[in-house]
Structure 1
């Protein structure tokens, strides 16, 4: 049995190190053509140093063999030995039949260095020489994709779509779906996703999200449930799936999926906040407060949860609990600046006017351009008898809301 076949048997049996050692030990006993195959195999398995040593030996024997240069350059790129890769490929002259392949490797090297414009220039130069070569369009498409130029990537991928089977490492249809979705072409993205055999959680998530944008909540629900069946620890999907159920009017199903998510990730803030929102829609205020408090306990600076809980206290004139909330959270440094404004409101309602004044003054540093704050603080100062400052703030407020006739009339009476 030849060494390559024996190594393959060892590799398939899970004896990977033995397979590699067997190849290296027998490398000098086999033909040079077989050495090339061994080096390729090692490269495919990820043993780049071992593959590099074999290709370097072959290169010393055959210094003008471009295929050996290309393989070795690929390994150098993966090993971040860009200078060595460049020096190899620079040996290939523009009049060489394989110069286009050299240009594509140049593009890989420059892209790995973050020199995307130079990489693109090399690929464009290659395309001028071979305009129908799908490998060049693929290279241009990948470069544009990873550079965030999604429309440009779409143009390239559409040209090579008929040759998609030539690129087994990348699913061209999935790339097209993702590009269209990223730039908001949801309908076209959905068409591509529906043509894919989706078996990976990330694929199913993106498919469900695309369908959600098209208000195809039934499709989203199926895709995201399939995702959970594949990977129930993919906890970021639970709030989205709950929202899809909610859009379909299935609030109980939404709550069930959120509670299922919390069993997988009890520290997921978004799950608590979404669950609280759903409970509030069903009129379950105590449950709403419970989940918001749990979210705030996990992150005392989470402004969204704080504001939701505060608004419940405010709507129910529950100022004692509101006071307890703001004073407890202001013990944490740094706390969200909104708490200065909210504490001013609480103190004002509880007639602790000195504390309210101090809180308004502090909040003014942050919210001096916020219309609602300017009006509220302005009328507080009216009650305090500080008319000059109050008029100044209310005039600032009216610059943003010139249609507020009630405030205009108040100022006219005051100034008159």
Structure 2
């Protein structure tokens, strides 16, 4: 198994997979099954990973590290209920693993269980309030559900410590919808240098600038976008661009 482990550590997963397969024919240990399961996922052999990790669970259900890759293998096969069940087993064995709560949230989203997903992401943040993946995923769910107050409550105290531009953009939109214009203005302007080449951001930014009566700022944003990206403006922005040009 040492050869397989060495290949795995150096990223040579195909070779590692081959040597784990040979080694497991001679001797089956929980460590070898776990290593094989991880490598099988790396080489897109989800079914082999499931077989190995289920065998490992039968041998030692308290081997808590097995549950995340087992759930991920189930997920790869589209077995979302089995994946979520595996995550829940893992949490029951060790409730300190933040990544299990995040994975449970993602799997709940796949099954359109938004309320459950939100709860899992919140649990992840109780374990680690700066978990970037938990914050990002929770922000997306809040946006989809238009839960502006919850989104604002989540991010307003984290903005300085958590300068993720997509989350700041989401916060700006939430303030905008809630008619908290000063806060929205500050965040749009703060985020502009980071997202000025992204069409979705430019659309909201331009709309806000126009609402604020800052037509020159809106025109400059559209000109910058056109000059530095190959992505075309949508029909609405193209019409706005032409109208603003005519006014200049």
The TM-score, its normalising length taken from structure 2, stands at: 0.83
Cα-Cα RMSD: 2.7
Q: Are 2:92 and 1:260 equivalent residues in the alignment?
A: no
State the partner residue of 2:155. Answer: 326
> Does residue 220 in structure 1 map to residue 58 in structure 2?
no
Aligned to 1:413: 243
Q: Does residue 307 of the first structure (1) align with residue 128 of the second (2)? A: no
Superposed counterparts of 1:184-333, under 5 Å: 186=14, 188-197=15-24, 198-330=27-159
Gaps of 5+ in 1: 1-169
Query: Which structure: larger Rg?
Result: 1
Equivalent residues in 2 for 1:12-411, closer than 5 Å = 171-172=2-3, 174=4, 177-178=7-8, 182-183=11-12, 186=14, 188-197=15-24, 198-330=27-159, 334-338=161-165, 339-364=167-192, 366-368=194-196, 370-398=198-226, 399-406=228-235, 407-411=237-241
Partners in 1 of 2:6 and 2:68 — Cα distance? 26
CA contact (8 A) 2:105 2:121 kept: yes
Name the SS for the 2:156 alignment partner. helix
Q: 1:238 to 1:336 in 2, by over 3 A?
A: farther
Deviations 1:305-356, CA, capped at 9 Å, x for gaps? 22222222222222222222223544xx623444432221111011111111
- Secondary structure at the aligned position of 1:300 is classed as coil
Alignment size in residue pairs: 241
Task: Look up the SS of the partner of 1:195 in the other structure.
Answer: helix
Q: Which has the higher contact order (CA 8 A, sep 6+)?
A: 2
Gaps of 5+ in 2: none
Please tell me whether the aligned partners of residues 371 and 400 of structure 1 are also in contact (alpha carbons under 8 angstroms). Answer: no
**CA shift at 1:262, angstroms?**
0.9
Residue 196 of structure 1, CA deviation: 0.6
Whether the aligned pair in 2 keeps the contact of 1:341 and 1:363 (CA below 8 Å) is: yes
Q: CA deviation at 1:415?
A: 0.5
